[in-house]
Structures are given as structure tokens and as C-alpha cells.
Amino acid sequence: MVRIGAHGNGATTRSGARAGPWAPSGRLLDNRGVSDLYSADEARAVLDRLRPVLDELIAVRADLAELGAAIQGGAASRLGGLPELKAAQARLDELLSSVVGAGVQVKGIAPLLLDFPAVLDGEQVLLCWLEGDADLAWYHRADLGFAGRRPLPPSP
């Protein structure tokens, strides 16, 4: 049986599910520091709460691309000029901080790629959401990255 966050030495995920042996107290140690572990349901709930932030982030990213191209090319943009570009950059930083503040790893911005640290069958994995995905339905081993992306197994 496959269970996320259900193996190890008594460590727990955010909701109290057991975590892996290297993750005391529900924290996952890796070479970037310490991250919270998520069950698939917890990660989906965080993703749902972040949807308005992610939608705005995607819109601001598009505005930045348009403003940047216009300014670089010396052309006018219906979105404005340098002050609007600076404001959009600041807003993008705020939105990214909100995502990171929720314990989510931002792996890419165009397209938007988010990872949620988890344990699957006793192995460190990242639950993976890519812009355009309807749901959080993928994972990959932490050491394989996006190339190792696989569908999440059905919940027990």
C-alpha cells in the first residue's frame, strides 16, 4: 500500500501523519535547509488557498514581460512605462513571498512550477504542480527533479 507521510520513526506531517526516518518532528532536512512535509491532501488544500495568489502572479508575470519588451524596444505599452514595470516587479516579489511563506518551493516562474516536500513509501519526494495542471497529481523523487515526474498513486 502506498501512503504519503506514513513511514519512519514517528515524525509527522503538518496534520500529524507519520513521516520519514530522516524527518524528525515533521521537518524534512535537505541541502537547502528545513522544509515542512505535506500529505497529498494538505498540499492540495494549500494549493487551493493559493489559487488567487497564483492567478495574480501569472497575470503580473505576463504584464512584466510585456512592459519589459516595450521598454527594451523603445515602444509604448498600453500598460505604461518604467514606473509600472517597477511596480509590477515589486508586486511579483510580494506574490512569490506569499507562496514561499506558505512553505511551498517555487522551482520555476515561467511556467510556474511548485513543489511540496513529502514522503512516499518511505522515500523523500516532491509533490509537483505545474501551471496548467488542474490538480496536484504528480510527484518526483527529490534527486531526479522534473524529469522523474510521475502520477501520484491513488489514495488508499
Whether residue 67 is predicted with pLDDT greater than 90 in this model: the reply is yes
pLDDT at residue 35, rounded to an integer: 57
CB contact set of 78 (below 8 Å; sequence gap of 6+): none
Question: Can you tell me the mean pLDDT for 77-91?
Answer: 96
Tens of pLDDT, residues 110-137: 999 999 999 998 889 999 999 999 999 9
The per-residue pLDDT for 79 is 96
60: closest CA among 97, 90, 99?
90
Predicted local confidence at residue 86, as pLDDT: 97
Domain ranges of the chain: 50-103
Please identify which residue in the block is written with the cell numbers 503580473: 60
For residue 154, the model assigns a pLDDT of 86
Q: Average of pLDDT values for 49-61?
A: 98
Amino acid at 116: F
Give 3-43 pLDDT, tens digit per residue.
Answer: 334 333 333 444 444 333 223 233 333 333 445 799 999 99
- Number of Cβ within 10 Å of residue 5's Cβ equals 28
Length of the chain: 156
The CA–CA distances, whole Å, from 79 to 63, 73, 74, 83 equal 7, 15, 14, 10
Is 13 or 83 the better-scoring residue by pLDDT?
83
pLDDT for residue 2 is more than 90: no
User: Amino acid identity of 52?
Assistant: P
Q: How far apart are the first and last CA of the chain?
A: 7
